[in-house]
Structure 1
Amino acid sequence: MRFPKWGLWLSATLVLMAGSSVGTWYWLTQVEPGVRIPASMRNNKEFAQFVQTYQLIRSKTIWSNSPHQLLVGAINGMVGTLHDQFSNYLSPSSTKNFNALLNPTFTGIGIEVEPEAHDLRIMQVFSHSPAALAGLKPGELIVDVNHTSVASMNPIQALSRIRGPVNTYVTLTVEDHNQLQTHRIEREKIALPTVFSQMMPHHIAYMNITEFGNNTGQEATQQWHQLLRQGARGLLLDLRNNPGGEVSQALQVANLFVPKGPVVTLKFKNPEQDQTLNSDGPGTSVPIVVLVNGQTASAAEILSAAIQERQGGLLVGTRTYGKGIVQQVLSLPGHAALKLTVARYYTPNGQYIEHVGLAPNVYDPEPIDVVPSNNPNQDPQLQKAITVLLQHMAHR
């Protein structure tokens, strides 16, 4: 039986999640009221050129336009010059939807996605969800939402269109092996636990964290203490396909597994803002193996690196995604927002993993067409991790 794989509908790396998601660590801050244009910009020739262009369009063109349309276009243009898939202008409606995605209860169809060049790839389809009932499968590409090409939208816009009120419908066109299929799917309210655990033979505790949502730290704490009461002598932490999420929640999990001390260091444009985030402990002396793959990203990589470098845990699987940057959500007037990359993060040993990822201690590729699960008989990669953990336990 496949182990339930749940997660927030959007990764906060996008993840968006990429990104993910959804998804990634976000702060919500407020812009100071009465922000003024600095003198250096008022006297800047390029800024004068921008103002003149705006005025000429408003006064000369025969095409319909509005101040809001032109200014939003200018903002999107500025953000676009950064060539950063994780930086976006969020309209008021997109901001509202984005904030709602951090809540583990949402209305949607029950999928987790990753942005690709011109579409969205389905990473997870939640069991018994509307998407599962419609026949959507992991690996399929969403190329069209409500008869609009995903290529014409940024990922957050596309995901916002997939979401919507309960008992309404969304139409998705997906591509699988060069074949297109269209599905009309009814949205429902979906509650999302993010931590699943069980005891395996040989006193091995298995814990699967699908992503780091608002309640992941509390879920993991409760389940870890229960596993210890059941006699856990080793931990198999499954972070495969975990796109990240809230670093604050990853830190709470790190308290359980990583000794008191550094977990991750953030470096900003202004070095005076740099900070190191620490585990409060107590951590654990129980041997740990962490299962990772190419979709282990962002906050999941932060936790994996801290366990590997500071607890002595072993990573098994394939090289991780490689997201070593941090986004901040900055409020704009009118309830809009700017999601902007503001810092790099470094592991306790000083690794910067952007576009590089974490190298596993034991490389074990994922078999083709095998879905990660909690059943060693159905998941050779999991069986390999169990073998490594038993060896690790024997030497501790």
Structure 2
Amino acid sequence: MSKKISLGVAATIAIIAMAVTFSLTMVVSMKMFNTTVSSVKNKERQYNKLSEIDRFVRAGEFFTIDEDTLNDKLAAGYMSGINDRYAIYYTAKEYSEKQAIEKGTLTGIGVAVVNDASSGYARIIRVYNNSPASEAGLQVGGFITAIGEESTKNIGSTARLTSRLLGEEGTTTAITYLTPDRQEQQLSLVHSNYKTPTISTSQLTAGTCGYLRIDAFTTGTASEFKTAVDNLLQQGATCLVFDLRDNAGENLNAGLVAADYCVPSGEIAKQQDKDGNVTVLRMSDENEINVPMVCLVNGATSSSAELFANALRKMGGATIVGTKTAGMGVVLSDVQSFSDGSAAYITSGLLLDNEDQSWNNEGLKPDIDATLSVDEQNSYYDYTIDTDPQISKAVNAAMSLTGQN
């Protein structure tokens, strides 16, 4: 026989339920309040410190302050201080150049340069077709020793050198050019648009070994890659060497798509967020390359270039030759653009391979070591495909997998 609950008991239960609900609400509210107060206090400390510094500087600084430069440096300093080694801030000019590089269409004189370790000058490592540089006769192996009246020894990094050689269409850059046989020339080059393919070399070597130099992974790399691989296979390539040295792996999706073309079906890579949630970034289809593959890497092989090499090794049985890679195994956020045209990226997740393993901070260890000696490092940009000792090791490894070496 069921018992009726008295009105008093029901009221008591209701009051208890209300009390519990109120307590839980208060706990949550207090936590949110404390977090908000802490955030406000932290921001107040930041603003107060900057204000103190600003007052000190403006009260006695002898030199004129460039406000735009100051704001950019403050933004860059913020990004470098958030305990995220991959977070990066781009000024409006830098971000515009980055977008152009990713699209493969630049406006400038038409060369790729590096800061040459031995001379300190800008060494030319690529001259792009249909560019002012190619029309003026600049050659790979030559040097740009000055831009305007400033020695390239004083400009600094490769990125800064590259930036100085870009500019609006129709504008002019004066350079001092030293030919490969050390003849000095003074040139004024008018900036124009030119294409920058990311696969700079694609040819057969050692008879039937297909060699591809992949300089970068950008939005156009996937289609370039497929075309280059297909051409080599049609020419009779019995193995493939993918040269990924100095490839910074700028575009994650391009690396995923290129890997997909090479490996059998399965998960290529995953992303793990800060809460530990894992999502698959790309599933490979059943199409694959059925010839032995080798990836040639070095300490500057990074991000999606590492993903590509790792996927080919774990899913396609590829051999990795070279030296340990950079160890950038993270996913960057979508770009955040700001009102003045500047932009920033932060780390949004950890990259995992098909076995849920991460190479972040560790890099990929090669199967076959191909470390350059000091003398070989000094000659790095003088090598050809036939004389480069690292390429030779990679080609030999690939040929041995075919039973031809």
Same fold by TM-score greater than 0.5:
yes
Structure number with higher relative contact order (C-alpha < 8 Å, ≥ 6 residues apart): 1
Q: Tell me what 2:12 maps to.
A: none
Task: Give the SS at the match of 2:106.
Answer: strand
Match of 1:46 among 21, 42, 48: 42
User: Aligned AA for 1:353?
Assistant: W
Structure 1 residue runs without a partner (length 5+): 1-37, 175-180
Q: Tell me what 1:342 maps to.
A: 348
Which one is further off, 105-114 or 260-269? 105-114
Asked if the contact 2:214–2:247 (Cα under 8 Å) also holds between the matched residues in 1, the reply is yes
Q: State the 1:392 CA deviation.
A: 0.9
Q: State the 1:325 CA deviation.
A: 2.8
Asked if the contact 2:113–2:162 (Cα under 8 Å) also holds between the matched residues in 1, the reply is no
Task: Give the SS at the match of 2:392.
Answer: helix
Match of 1:359 among 353, 360, 365: 365
CA distance in 1, matches of 2:252, 2:397: 28
Task: Give the SS at the match of 2:271.
Answer: strand
**Residue 271 to residue 386, structure 1, CA distance change in 2 (3 Å):** same
Considering fraction of residues, name the structure with more helix: 2
Question: 1:346-388 deviations in whole A, cap 9, x for unaligned?
Answer: 3334443334321111112236114486633x22332322222
Match of 2:298 among 280, 293, 297: 293
CA distance in 2, matches of 1:375, 1:43: 57
Asked if the contact 2:113–2:161 (Cα under 8 Å) also holds between the matched residues in 1, the reply is no
Task: Give the SS at the match of 2:320.
Answer: strand
After superposition, where does 1:79-228 map in structure 2 within 5 Å?
79-82=79-82, 86-109=86-109, 110-113=111-114, 125-127=125-127, 130=133, 147=150, 159-166=162-169, 167-169=171-173, 186=189, 187-195=191-199, 196-228=201-233
The alignment's TM-score, normalised by the length of structure 1, stands at 0.70
Task: Give the SS at the match of 1:333.
Answer: coil
Which one is further off, 104-113 or 80-89? 80-89
Question: 1:89-136 deviations in whole A, cap 9, x for unaligned?
Answer: 3233332222222121212341255899xxx99686213674996688
Asked if the contact 2:121–2:153 (Cα under 8 Å) also holds between the matched residues in 1, the reply is no
Q: Give the number of the structure whose alpha-carbon radius of gyration is greater.
A: 2
Q: Tell me what 2:401 maps to.
A: 392
CA distance in 2, matches of 1:219, 1:86: 28
Q: Percent identity?
A: 23
CA distance in 1, matches of 2:237, 2:217: 23
CA distance in 1, matches of 2:155, 2:236: 53
Structure 2 residue runs without a partner (length 5+): 1-33, 179-183
CA distance in 2, matches of 1:304, 1:184: 41
Asked if the contact 2:144–2:175 (Cα under 8 Å) also holds between the matched residues in 1, the reply is no
CA distance in 2, matches of 1:260, 1:273: 19
Match of 1:332 among 325, 328, 338: 338
After superposition, where does 1:283-322 map in structure 2 within 5 Å?
283-322=288-327
**Residue 296 to residue 53, structure 1, CA distance change in 2 (3 Å):** closer
**Residue 141 to residue 258, structure 1, CA distance change in 2 (3 Å):** farther
Task: Give the SS at the match of 1:126.
Answer: strand
The alignment's TM-score, normalised by the length of structure 2, stands at 0.69
Q: State the 1:298 CA deviation.
A: 1.9
